Amino acid sequence: MTTLPDHTEKKLGLAIDLDTCVGCQACVISCKEWNTGHYGAPLSDTDPYGADPSGTFLNRVHSYESQPETGPAQLTHFPKSCLHCEDAPCVTVCPTGASYKRTEDGIVLVNEDDCMGCGLCAWACPYGARELDALAGVMKKCTLCVDRIYNDNIPEQDRIPSCVRTCPANARHFGDFADPNSNVSRLKAERGGIALMPEQGTKPVNTYLPPRAKSAPTGALTPVAEEPKGFLAWLDRALEAL
C-alpha cells in the first residue's frame, strides 16, 4: 500500500466555473490529444467508428438539467476529472505503490510500469475519475499535464494544463490553492467555490465555482406588425399556395 504525504508544498489544481462552461467538449478533445501524443502510453480507443465504440478519456463533460426553486430551468455542463484529493483513497488502496501523491505539488499520479490493472483505485475513487485502459492494461488518470507545466522547452503561456489552455470560454483556471493570493484561491473565495462530495472526506483540491441563478424572461416578444407587408406579404401568400 502507498502512504500519503503529511504535507505538500503546493496544492496545484483546477477551479472550474460551472457558470461559464458551455459544454463544447474542447477540453476533452485537447486532453485526449495531448495525453495520447505525449505523457505515458497513448490513450486507446476500441472500435471508435463501430457500433459499440469505447475509449479512455482523462476528462469528460456531463450535462444536467435542474429546476431551481425560483426561476427557469438551467442546463449545467459539468466537467469531471481527477480532483487530486489531499486524502486520496485511490493512493492508499494501491497494492503495488503505483498510485502516489507528490510532496512538491500535491499532484496524484500513476507509475504505469508498476500498475497491474487490478482496478482497486477505481473502486476507491468516489468520483469515477480513473479509467482502465483496456489495451494497455493499466489505470489512467488526469496528471494536470505534469509534462507541460514544468516544461521549459515550450512557451511560458503554454505551461498550464492542456484543458485550461484550450477552453474557449475561460471556464477552467489552474493554480496553487495553498497560496491564498493565487488566481484560483481568489476565485474560490470570491465565488464561494465548493468541493465535490465533501461528505466523502477526501478533501479534493479541485474546486467548482457554482452557476449563478438565471433570471426569468421579463415578458413575451411582441410582433412588429400585425400583418406582413411588401416582400414578406408576397412570400407569405406564396407559401400558403404551396
Range of the structural domain that residue 103 is part of: 12-209
Please tell me the distance from the alpha carbon of residue 64 to that of residue 198, in angstroms, as a whole number.
Answer: 20
Q: According to the model, what pLDDT value does residue 237 have?
A: 82
Domain count, the chain: 1
Residue 227 in any domain: the answer is no
Residue 203 in any domain: the answer is yes
Q: How many CB atoms lie within 10 A of CB 37?
A: 9
Q: According to the model, what pLDDT value does residue 223 have?
A: 64
Which among 141, 115, 116, 138 has a CA at the least distance from the CA of 128? 141
Q: What is the CATH number of the domain that holds 59?
A: 3.30.70.20
Q: According to the model, what pLDDT value does residue 147 have?
A: 92
Q: According to the model, what pLDDT value does residue 224 have?
A: 66
Residue 234 in any domain: the answer is no
Please tell me the distance from the alpha carbon of residue 197 to that of residue 207, in angstroms, as a whole number.
Answer: 11
Residue 77 in any domain: the answer is yes
**Cα Rg for the chain, rounded, in angstroms?**
23
Paired residues of 209 in beta bridges: 17
Residue 242 in any domain: the answer is no
Residue 231 in any domain: the answer is no
Q: According to the model, what pLDDT value does residue 225 have?
A: 66
Residue 214 in any domain: the answer is no
Residue 100 in any domain: the answer is yes
Evaluate whether 76 touches 211 at the Cβ level (below 8 Å).
yes
Question: What b/e readout covers 53-72, taking b as 16+ CB neighbours within 10 angstroms?
Answer: eeebbbbbbeeeeeeeeeee
Predicted confidence pLDDT, tens digits, the chain (242 residues) = 678 999 999 999 999 999 999 999 999 999 999 988 765 567 888 888 888 888 889 999 999 998 888 778 889 999 999 999 999 999 999 999 999 999 999 999 999 999 999 999 999 999 999 999 988 899 999 999 999 999 999 999 999 999 999 999 999 999 999 999 999 999 999 999 999 999 999 999 999 999 887 776 666 666 666 777 788 788 888 888 87
